[in-house]
Amino acid sequence: MGIVTLDEVTHYINGQQVKGENDKFGYVYNPSTGQRIATVPYASIKEVDETVQLAKKAAKRWGATSVGTRIQILFKFRELLVEHTEQLAKLIGKENGKTISDAKGEIGRGIESVDLAIGAPHLIKGEHSVNVGGDINAYSMKQPLGLVTCISPFNFPVMIPLAMSVMAVAVGNAMILKPSEKVPYSALFLSKLWEEAGLPDGVWNVVNGNKDTVNAIVTHKDVKAVSFVGSTKVAEVIYETATRHHKRVAAFGGGKNHMVIMPDADIDKVVDSFVGAAYGSAGQRCMAISVAMPVGKKTTELFTKKLRTKVEALKAGSYDDKDADFGALISNDAKQEILRAIDEAVNEGANIVVDGRNPKVENKEGFYLDATLLDHVTPDMNIYKEEVFGPVRVIVPVETLEKAIELINDHQLGNGATIFTNNGRSARIFTQEIEVGMTGVNVPIPIPVGYHNFGGWKDSRFGEGQMFGPDTARFFTKMKTVSERWFDWEDTTNETNFDFPS
Ligand code: NAD
């Protein structure tokens, strides 16, 4: 397969690119230049229903296809992802704004989901018990749900759709992906790779749209499970709507991830780790570190001094600028929202240590902000309470480890938190007591590898559904248990029993 050519943004339905018929549409921008690069059609309720009907038929055929055949297609898909990494990374950079090297990182993590899903035969094999009584054998099997949907955010145009969907396909479901309307090209690109890999028509579909499109999908009676990743506000709505319509739901929301810095930690290592984890991808990662929590006055002073120098040296730039540490924000609206959050914090008494509000980048039309650092931030300020999805980070000092744990546990968001220390006991107390889904010790972004489960606590996830990790195979299948007996035809005794079988 050579270069993939994608001119206009279309839906991808039943193995074909389909232009939308609806009169509703949105615009796609290149965040690095601020220029409009495409229009994206929003699917209507009718278009959603037509897609569902086709995908439902495909789900039936695909679910009955041997698991070995399904996995062969995944192997091919994986090969194509590797082959097209360079082209795909540029595409991600162009529509999302992140640097090409960062985009390659996300593709690599996306490929990890394919690796995990290649092991699906192992994850969905059933259980068997021989002669549980009266010559009956009992066994259980995991069957696909049928047609399922994934609704994805803008910040990982490839990694998250792959994390959410590949296992679903591997275990025998058909998929409707509704990608973020801000980054529709990447999803279309993945569709072309699935097509080339030999996935039968209708198993993988991409329907573009806005909240009305999402609503039409998640309330459709033939859609059996909803996997959602996005902001907490929307995750909550999706969870409530979809469960009301009796769907299985995994709804992942935002994060406010803390790094606790103990007095015994190596401050230079801490600062290096913080800078990458906090400002990488312009801070637009759900697991980005957004709060530094140094313990004690001395640690705070040393950390702030060293961090300031590093943050001042950071460079925002175009996705294809090899010297840029991070790229532009996704939209001008996002930029304005972040500027508003900084102003509000300053009015509430926060102090600007490094001010990135007037970015140094030459192209003033792109949606840039330079790295910004605030201190004198207190837990009652909105900038501490809410996720700020951009390169703005805050320092909130505490007196003790116990106080750090108390504040993190009181926070409504519970995706990740990490501690930097050289003391095993502090690390143990922290990992045991902290109320977040993913925690680290001297690891700035503790995102688990694919063979461990991913997921936050509190308002960072609604429901117990999975979207990445081995439990995703369980989320996208339903268990059936069979009790089976074969009679001896020469045995002619017949007897009726009215007692409950035991
Ligand atoms: P978003 O919530 O605005 O959009 C996510 C998806 O929902 C998009 O496809 C969008 O079209 C759709 N959508 C938006 N509003 C909707 C509505 N009212 N009803 C139904 N659907 C709607 O999120 P975003 O801005 O694209 O992504 C950034 C957010 O995602 C951040 O909060 C980030 O922390 C979060 N995120 C979380 C994880 C995680 O694993 N927990 C991973 C990545 C991103």
Q: Which of 323, 280, 330, 365 is nearest to 94 (CA)?
A: 330
Query: Is 165 buried (19+), middle (13-18) or exposed (0-12) by CB count in 10 A?
Result: buried
pTM for the predicted model, two decimal places: 0.97
Strands 372-375, 351-354: pairing kind: antiparallel
To test the pocket of ligand 1, the residue of 154, 207, 457 to mutate (highest count of ligand atoms within 8 Å of its CB) is: 154
ipTM of the complex: 0.99
For ligand 1, the distance from its centroid to the CA atom of residue 226, given in whole angstroms, is 14
Task: Give the distance (Å) from ligand 1 centre to CA of residue 255.
Answer: 12
pLDDT string in tens for the chain (502-residue length): 777 777 899 999 999 999 999 899 999 999 999 999 999 999 999 999 999 999 999 999 999 999 999 999 999 999 999 999 999 999 999 999 999 999 999 999 999 999 999 999 999 999 999 999 999 999 999 999 999 999 999 999 999 999 999 999 999 999 999 999 999 999 999 999 999 999 999 999 999 999 999 999 999 999 999 999 999 999 999 999 999 999 999 999 999 999 999 999 999 999 999 999 999 999 999 999 999 999 999 999 999 999 999 999 999 999 999 999 999 999 999 999 999 999 999 999 999 999 999 999 999 999 999 999 999 999 999 999 999 999 999 999 999 999 999 999 999 999 999 999 999 999 999 999 999 999 999 999 999 998 999 999 999 999 988 889 999 999 999 999 999 999 988 988 888 888 887 7
Residues with a CB atom less than 6 Å from ligand 1: 151-156, 160, 178, 180-181, 210-211, 214, 229-231, 234, 237, 252-255, 286, 387, 389, 415, 456, 460
CA separation for the pair 380, 386 (Å, rounded): 10
Looking from the CA of residue 154, the nearest atom of ligand 1 is: 26
C-alpha to C-alpha distance for 61 and 64, rounded to whole angstroms: 5
Active site residues: 286
Q: Tokens in use for 228?
A: 């959602």
User: To test ligand 1's pocket by mutation, which of 24, 48, 155 has the most ligand atoms within 8 angstroms of CB?
Assistant: 155
Burial per residue of 52-86, b for 16 or more beta-carbon CB atoms within 10 angstroms, e otherwise = bebbbebbeebbeeeeeebbebbebbbebbeebbe
Q: Tell me how far the alpha carbon of residue 153 lies from the centroid of ligand 1, in angstroms.
A: 4
Torsion 418-419-425-429 (CA) sign? negative
> Measuring from atom 35 of ligand 1, which residue has the nearest CA?
230
Q: How far is CA 273 from the centre of its chain?
A: 22
- Among 228, 181, 147, 140, which Cα is nearest to 28's? 181
Distance between CA 322 and CA 190 in Å, rounded?
Answer: 25
Using CA atoms, how far apart are residues 242 and 223, in angstroms rounded to an integer? 10
In sign, the C-alpha dihedral spanning 486, 502, 125, 63 is: positive
Place of tokens 């690069």: 37
Three-point CA angle 313, 316, 321, nearest 5° = 110
Residue 149 one-letter amino acid = T
Cα–Cα–Cα angle for 157, 163, 167, nearest 5°?
135
With vertex at residue 273, the alpha carbon angle to CA 272 and CA 279, rounded to the nearest 5 degrees, is 90
CA 282 to chain centre: 17
- Ligand 1: which of 231, 244, 284, 332 to mutate, most ligand atoms within 8 Å of CB? 231
Q: How far is CA 209 from CA 186, 193, 461, in A?
A: 15, 22, 23
Q: How far is the CA of 62 from the centre of ligand 1 (A)?
A: 29
Residue 216: which H helix or E strand, with range? helix 211-218
d(CA 189, ligand 1 centre) in Å: 20
**Which residue has a Cα nearest atom 13 of ligand 1?**
211
Q: Which two tokens stand for residue 171?
A: 């275990």
In this structure, is the dihedral angle defined by the CA atoms of residues 364, 5, 186 and 274, taken in order, positive or negative? negative
